[in-house]
Structure 1
Amino acid sequence: MGEQPIYSTRAHVFQIDPNTKKNWVPTSKHAVTVSYFYDSTRNVYRIISLDGSKAIINSTITPNMSFTKTSQKFGQWADSRANTVYGLGFSSEHHLAKFADKFAEYKEAARLAKEKSLEKMEMASSPSQESPADIHSPLTPPVTADLCRVNGTGDDVTLSDASPNSELQSDLSPTTPSLAHRHVFKACRVCSF
């Protein structure tokens, strides 16, 4: 479905002067359409405004942004990604209030989307609650390194010792678990499997 406009209004658009960081510089000669867009595939909200074919605002709303009403008809927000501060001059206090309400609504939606995304990433990257040592065949008892010594020498057997090319492979008995299970178990000559 892609990105769709979800709210539009008209305003005079300004950016803070990049040199002085104090004065407003108009980016449009007249009031232009300023729209909130929502991209359902990426779950992202943006403020976009065009003056003709030139994008004068392309600002992705993030949870840490704030829209501030600085007068009855003027509001602003900082966009660290664009490295600028945008200002909007509205024709009425009502239009400013409506834009500010939408900003707060979409900022909260962006925060919730970010939290949900982080939770998904954490769940995908977190290890399983079961460790490989807890998984074993009903026919084969689990073996730990503490119980398993090679030829009684005291050398612990590690998972890498049980690789298919290991010298231990030739010493495994016919009752040894299949290769699919051997990566979970520690192979050993002294233990019962």
Structure 2
Amino acid sequence: QFSHRHRCASSSREQPIFSARAHVFQIDPATKRNWIPASKHAVTVSFFYDANRNVYRIISVGGTKAIINCTITPSMTFTKTSQKFGQWADSRANTVYGLGFATEQQLHQVNKSNVNKGTDEYRTLGN
């Protein structure tokens, strides 16, 4: 799904698991409470698996800018906070990302995709 200009975002060793369009948010670093949109519109968020390194990555590019380039680590927890929204903390980027999907099924696919095998857990809150 990535055009030639996005190839630098993922190496040839990485296999795409799935892609979905989502609204990407980052937590406001000042308040640690409010969400700030990372893009004006829904963007493609792609989930990759690198078999050589046994790691998962989440990548999203808006225009020419990487919005998310996150390696999933065992200490991360992807938390479903509503029917169509999930979030996780990326300590390397020192931020919390949020993904708002158009459908509950798209969010459910994050769990089904095995991305969470890279994390200790997948939690569901507030159903």
Instruction: Please give the TM-score of this superposition, normalised by the length of structure 1.
Output: 0.53
The aligned amino acid for 1:46 is: R
Provide the rounded CA distance (Å) in 1 between the counterparts of 2:23 and 2:116: 22
Instruction: Please give the TM-score of this superposition, normalised by the length of structure 2.
Output: 0.78
The aligned amino acid for 2:115 is: Y
Provide the rounded CA distance (Å) in 2 between the counterparts of 1:109 and 1:100: 11
Q: Determine if contact 1:73/1:91 at 8 Å carries over to the other structure.
A: yes
Q: Does 1:70 align with 2:72?
A: no
Report the counterpart of residue 116 of structure 2 in structure 1: 107
Q: How many residues align?
A: 109
Q: Determine if contact 1:45/1:110 at 8 Å carries over to the other structure.
A: no
Report the counterpart of residue 15 of structure 2 in structure 1: 4
How far does residue 50 in structure 1 lie from its aligned partner after superposition?
A: 0.4
Report the counterpart of residue 103 of structure 2 in structure 1: 92
Provide the rounded CA distance (Å) in 2 between the counterparts of 1:110 and 1:66: 6
Provide the rounded CA distance (Å) in 2 between the counterparts of 1:64 and 1:101: 19
2:60 to 40, 44, 49: 49
What are structure 1's unaligned runs of at least 5 residues?
Answer: 112-193
Provide the rounded CA distance (Å) in 2 between the counterparts of 1:67 and 1:29: 23
How far does residue 109 in structure 1 lie from its aligned partner after superposition?
A: 4.8
Q: What's the CA shift string for 1:28-82, capped at 9, x where partnerless? A: 1111110111223322210000001100011111112111111111111111111
What are structure 2's unaligned runs of at least 5 residues?
Answer: 1-11, 121-127
Partner SS state of residue 96, structure 1: helix
The aligned amino acid for 2:57 is: R
Larger Rg: 1
Report the counterpart of residue 3 of structure 2 in structure 1: none
1:21 to 1, 26, 32: 32
CA RMSD of aligned residues (A): 1.6
Pick the structure with more helix per residue: 1
How far does residue 110 in structure 1 lie from its aligned partner after superposition?
A: 6.4
2:45 to 14, 18, 34: 34
